[in-house]
Structure 1
């Protein structure tokens, strides 16, 4: 695993955001979630990561709803701020569910979360770029630890057969993802 995993995940997210359409009520591959709900979830995820890096603890409480004016530009600014936090001095470990977690593990979890949801946001567009091979390959090596086969529902669907052997499709298939028709 490389130290720049979170940075590459944010770079992928930033490459997807400018291509999103204006209809935030559009469906996503996340069951029963539209784009606005997914953006709100990403906002909460980024807030949790930033909280952990700033204060050494993630409280895991829901954040405020995504403001009605917020959209891809809001997520972009939050993701860039996360990169700034990651680049600066931060705790070596973060308390999550009352247990210390090494900061690099928090970064890996964040990388998986942001990468997969970036793909979810763009999955309705057939021209969506795949997750970059190196990023997908590295996330695929840790996905079974972060998203084990037991206890994955309702957060993740069961694995499916990947449509191609690319790292991107393999990672998405492991997480039960498929493009919307």
Structure 2
């Protein structure tokens, strides 16, 4: 068993709990709602989340192809939020199994044939970060209230605090590749949720 990967899988599980809950509140009439990701409505955000979960599922086998364009489309369902909830359960299961099998590294294969190894626990921790932040996006799209620090059921303070080291390690690289907006401004003495949201470019 990989202890470090098992710890990352535990973090992923905590992220999935809140995000699956908020996805359960998405109805067909909500898909046109705006989201904190300015270029996307809720339907586009769910499509992006599905694409990301597909990549993380592929990586659980020890390799991930980094494609220049969109991945092959998943089968179409009438309820994209339900599909995501089901995929989230699958994601947790396959990575739990990978941890038990001692998976240490995931081979990333670029479109030009270049290959590089990435620690599996870093990839899964990044998945936990993405799941939690997009869960927060969905909650805000649905009008879920947040506290003064920005916390919602999908992103409570203890989870945000656990994800902060992951964000500090990964977001700068992702921003250079256009995956994150510019760092936002957090208030002096801001709590972990507001600090994390600022790091990933959320207001």
Q: CA deviation at 1:7?
A: 1.0
Q: CA deviation at 1:143?
A: 1.0
Tell me the equivalent position of 1:169: 194
Q: CA deviation at 1:94?
A: 0.5
- 5 Å-filtered alignment, 1:11-90, equals 11-22=17-28, 23-54=30-61, 56-61=62-67, 62-65=70-73, 67=76, 69-89=78-98
Distance 1:132 1:69, change over 3 A: same
Distance 1:162 1:107, change over 3 A: same
Tell me the equivalent position of 1:112: 129
RMSD of the TM alignment (CA)?
A: 2.3
CA contact (8 A) 1:14 1:76 kept: yes
CA contact (8 A) 2:35 2:41 kept: yes
Q: Counterparts of 2:11 and 2:192 in 1: how far apart (Å)?
A: 15
Note the alpha carbon deviations across 1:84-114, whole angstroms, 9 max, x for none.
Answer: 1011135321012421111111101111111
- Matched residue count: 177
- 5 Å-filtered alignment, 1:86-97, equals 86-89=95-98, 91-96=103-108, 97=110
Q: Counterparts of 2:138 and 2:129 in 1: how far apart (Å)?
A: 14
Q: CA deviation at 1:154?
A: 3.3
Q: CA deviation at 1:153?
A: 6.5
TM-score normalised by length of structure 2: 0.78
CA contact (8 A) 1:93 1:102 kept: yes
**Runs of 4+ in structure 1 displaced over 3 angstroms?**
149-154
TM-score normalised by length of structure 1: 0.86
Structure 2: tracts of 5 or more residues without a match: 147-151
Q: Counterparts of 2:177 and 2:119 in 1: how far apart (Å)?
A: 26
